[in-house]
Amino acid sequence: MSTGEAARFPRQDINAHFYSGTEGSLTLPRLEVWRYRQDQGPAQGWHDPLTMERTAVHTGSPYSEQMRHFAALIEGKEQAVCSALDGLRTLEATLAVTQAAAANTAVAQPA
């Protein structure tokens, strides 16, 4: 299933992936963000209504857009969408998963 950002993969209007968290949830490929209303306060639970916002799909190729953004960063025309620290943490998580898979173990929690 695809969100339709790449022309070679047709967009399907049915959710295939559901990412759930404590602050909200995201569906793919429909790009629906589900969360509690902001005016409900900190005590939110099973009996409280959720809101759903559907995010617009980007139409450009993700690879071309990444290269365009990288060039704009170099030229000082745009700000980074994630920090160097975020990039480092992503690399650390990716390496931890790769090492755990190779060793057939669970990913260890950082100290």
C-alpha span between 40 and 42 (Å, rounded): 7
**pLDDT at residue 11 in the model:** 77
Residue 20's pLDDT band, with cuts at 50, 70 and 90, is very high
C-alpha span between 45 and 64 (Å, rounded): 42
Of all residues in the chain, what percent carry a pLDDT higher than 90? 47
Between 49 and 44, the higher pLDDT residue: 49
**pLDDT at residue 42 in the model:** 66
**pLDDT at residue 43 in the model:** 64
Structure confidence by residue, pLDDT tens digits, 56-91? 877 777 888 899 999 999 999 999 988 999 999 999
6 has a pLDDT exceeding 80: no
Nearest-5° Cα angle at 12, 11 to 18: 110
Plot region of 4 (φ>0 → left; ψ -120 to 50 → alpha; else → beta) = left
111 has a pLDDT exceeding 70: no
CA 34, 38, 44, 47 dihedral sign is: negative
